[in-house]
Chains A and B, each alone.
Chain A
């Protein structure tokens, strides 16, 4: 699995876009970039994943650089309920190895 690096914490104003960066410079060609989040005392929640192209779903957008060495998760209009730990994971299967993640605090 690719080693990923994320900032330990970020703040975002409610209603604004939250942009969470992730570096994965060692990612291999067949490894996807997955994003999950964990709200306190719950199991992780799947957000989005991608290989090379940018992806968008009802929760978020994923922007992957052309060289695939980094990506950004975008929550377009953050709400207080988006406060959570966000994990970026590079893998070619379902075996997910979690790093420390980014604590996102959405503030009113």
Chain B
């Protein structure tokens, strides 16, 4: 299957700082990528849809000014958690597909811990 890579795999940051997470499609072009968040013992929660060359579409209840998404190229989307707080500590996962009618592939996830 296609490969989606996230970086970093884990990060620890101080409260009040910003953290950027990268999601890359390594062997295909992705016009659309998705960002999810997962808290311990819970399912994945869709945060936003990242569209190449345009603004992201956020799910209800997700603050767009706190979770900045940039999709500058067909192989890279970034999620920046701004002014992070301990409650933002979570597992962040991206997915991508090269076509709307085929399966999406997921990155390995990024474990964010805010201290």
Contacts and interface: CB of A to CB of B under 8 A. Distances in A.
A94 B44 contact: no
A97 B109 CA distance: 17
10 contacts: A36-B106, A38-B44, A42-B108, A43-B93, A44-B93, A44-B95, A94-B34, A94-B104, A95-B49, A96-B46
Contacts of A36: 106
Interface residues of A, number: 20
A96 B46 CA distance: 8
Interface in A37-81: 38, 41-46, 49
Interface SS, B side: strand
A43 B33 CA distance: 14
Contact of A46 (B104, B107, B108, B111): B104
Contact of A93 (B44, B100, B106, B107): B100
A49 B99 CA distance: 15
Interface in B42-97: 43-46, 49, 91, 93, 95, 97
B105 interface: yes
Q: In the A-B complex, list the 5 residue pairs whose CB atoms are closest, starting with the nearest.
A: A43-B106, A94-B104, A98-B44, A94-B97, A98-B43
A83 B104 CA distance: 22
Contact of B104 (A41, A42, A96, A101): A96
Nearest to B99: A94
